[in-house]
């Protein structure tokens, strides 16, 4: 058995053992935690649904469409537009058959205009999907007039983490909008204020089952002839973007066979609830609501000293036993192929150290075979790291 095959085997075993220990349920609290309780949640690194977390926010009563029109109807906002509601997603160019990572077409319009479109969308299901989903602090950059209706930070989260949120984001769309599978380097407190959102979650330990690939980037632009339609525009001379194409709710296992080993968690966040989503967890989001769905989330920066951060972002979806290296450029020159073995063995070295540090920090004593597993990971990591150094010097 080659070193890479041993690497994959131990990563696979580590993921499977994590599944056995933690199961596929999402823990639930009936009320917001204290700072100490939340710190323990972050320490465990598992998602938690917090019921009634935002039921006392003024926004729960105030945020009607009529209120939005009165408070900031004439203000300009950024709206993402797509043909099918999947922004930041892998799309196939109808002309060439090539796959691209495609970002949405962004329109500037008044809040009134967006509400008009949203309220009329039910009468024309073929219309473009409009979604207020600008990130990186949209609550303060575009929706500051609504800030008095929510909290500027989640107090128990800020106290536990010792910092304020990096960004607070506002989300508003209909049930056609879908957030495709991805991960974020943030501790995420996600509150739903209208409708409901269903999250499909995959832990970072199962990253290698997701068949991540690097796709050439593209974006949508307005068709110059048909103004109400969009067309895909490749972005030439741009770096490939790593992304996950598979849909965990309807996976094509003939194309993504490793996903059969994944154990997704599914949780629905109702109006008034909040989901704690740990950093680096993969998630896909669907939403339901007759009058649209509104959410606000708080991004708190990840602790970059956490060994899990240095470990799992570098694991790939490559199974050397099946000769599939899926962190590669699609439909183009493979810029990752030469260094892929080194990336994998280097990541495994970090995995061994990271797994050991993680388990020791948690003082877990009840894991069956823990010592042997960690020893195997550490040994394999050391061997793999040496092999990676050797490979780089050849």
Highest mean pLDDT among 23-27, 243-247, 362-366: 243-247
Model confidence, pTM: 0.82
Using CA atoms, how far residue 176 sits from 122, 133, 183, 287, 368, in Å, is 10, 13, 21, 8, 44
Q: With cut-offs at 50, 70 and 90, classify the pLDDT of residue 6.
A: confident
Q: What pLDDT shows up at residue 345?
A: 47
Lowest mean pLDDT among 7-11, 31-35, 94-98, 199-203: 7-11
pLDDT at residue 108 tops 90: yes
**Phi, psi of 307, deg, nearest 5:** -60, -25
Mean pLDDT of the chain: 84
The second-level CATH assignment, the architecture, of 3-302 is Sandwich (2.60)
Tell me what pLDDT residue 10 has.
Answer: 85
Residue with token string 């199974």: 319
What ranges do the domains of the chain cover?
3-302
For the segment 225-241, the average pLDDT, to the nearest whole number, is 89
What pLDDT shows up at residue 314?
A: 53
Query: Is a pLDDT exceeding 70 seen at residue 176?
Result: yes
Q: pLDDT tens for residues 113-164?
A: 999 999 987 656 568 999 999 989 999 999 999 999 999 999 999 999 999 9
* Mean pLDDT score, 302-329: 58
Residues in the chain: 394
**CB-CB neighbours of 118 under 10 Å:** 19
Query: What is the per-residue pLDDT for 126?
Result: 65
Q: What is residue 382's predicted lDDT score, i.e. its pLDDT?
A: 47
Tens-digit pLDDT profile for residues 331-379:
444 433 334 444 444 554 555 555 554 455 555 444 444 444 444 445 4
Give the pLDDT score at 304.
Answer: 81
What pairs with residue 109 in β-bridges? 77
Which whole number is the average pLDDT over 4-22? 88
Would you state the pLDDT for residue 317? 53
């Amino acid at each position: 058995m080659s070193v890479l095959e041993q690497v994959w085997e131990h990563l696979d075993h580590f993921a499977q053992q994590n599944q056995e220990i933690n199961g596929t349920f999402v823990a639930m609290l009936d009320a917001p935690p204290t700072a100490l309780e939340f710190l323990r949640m972050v320490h465990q690194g598992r998602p938690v649904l917090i019921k009634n977390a935002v039921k006392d926010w003024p926004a729960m009563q105030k945020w009607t469409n009529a209120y939005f029109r009165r408070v900031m109807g004439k203000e300009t906002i950024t709206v993402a537009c797509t043909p099918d509601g999947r922004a930041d997603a892998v799309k196939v160019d109808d002309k060439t058959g090539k796959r691209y990572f495609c970002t949405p077409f962004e329109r500037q319009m008044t809040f009134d205009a967006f509400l008009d479109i949203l309220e009329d969308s039910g009468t024309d299901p073929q219309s473009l999907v409009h979604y207020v989903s600008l990130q990186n602090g949209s609550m303060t950059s575009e929706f500051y007039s609504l800030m008095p209706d929510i909290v500027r930070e989640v107090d128990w989260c800020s106290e536990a983490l010792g910092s304020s949120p990096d960004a607070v984001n506002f989300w508003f769309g209909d049930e056609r909008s879908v957030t495709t599978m991805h991960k974020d380097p943030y501790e995420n407190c996600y509150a739903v204020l209208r409708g409901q959102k269903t999250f499909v979650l995959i832990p970072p330990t199962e990253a290698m089952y997701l068949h991540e690939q690097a796709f050439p980037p593209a974006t949508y632009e307005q068709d110059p002839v048909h103004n109400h339609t969009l067309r895909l525009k490749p972005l030439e001379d741009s770096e490939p973007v790593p992304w996950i194409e598979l849909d965990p709710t309807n996976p094509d296992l003939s194309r993504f066979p490793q996903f059969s080993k994944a154990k997704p968690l599914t949780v629905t966040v109702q109006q008034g609830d909040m989901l704690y989503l740990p950093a680096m967890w993969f998630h896909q989001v669907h939403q339901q609501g007759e009058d649209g769905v509104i959410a606000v989330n708080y991004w708190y920066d990840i602790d970059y000293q956490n060994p899990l951060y240095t470990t799992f972002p570098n694991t790939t979806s490559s199974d050397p036993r099946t000769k599939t290296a899926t962190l590669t450029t699609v439909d183009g020159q493979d810029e990752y192929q030469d260094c892929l073995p080194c990336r994998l063995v280097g990541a495994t070295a970090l995995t061994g150290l990271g797994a050991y540090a993680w388990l020791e920090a948690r003082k877990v004593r009840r894991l069956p075979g823990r010592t042997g597993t960690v020893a195997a990971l550490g040994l394999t990591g050391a061997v793999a790291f040496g092999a990676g150094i050797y490979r780089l010097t050849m």
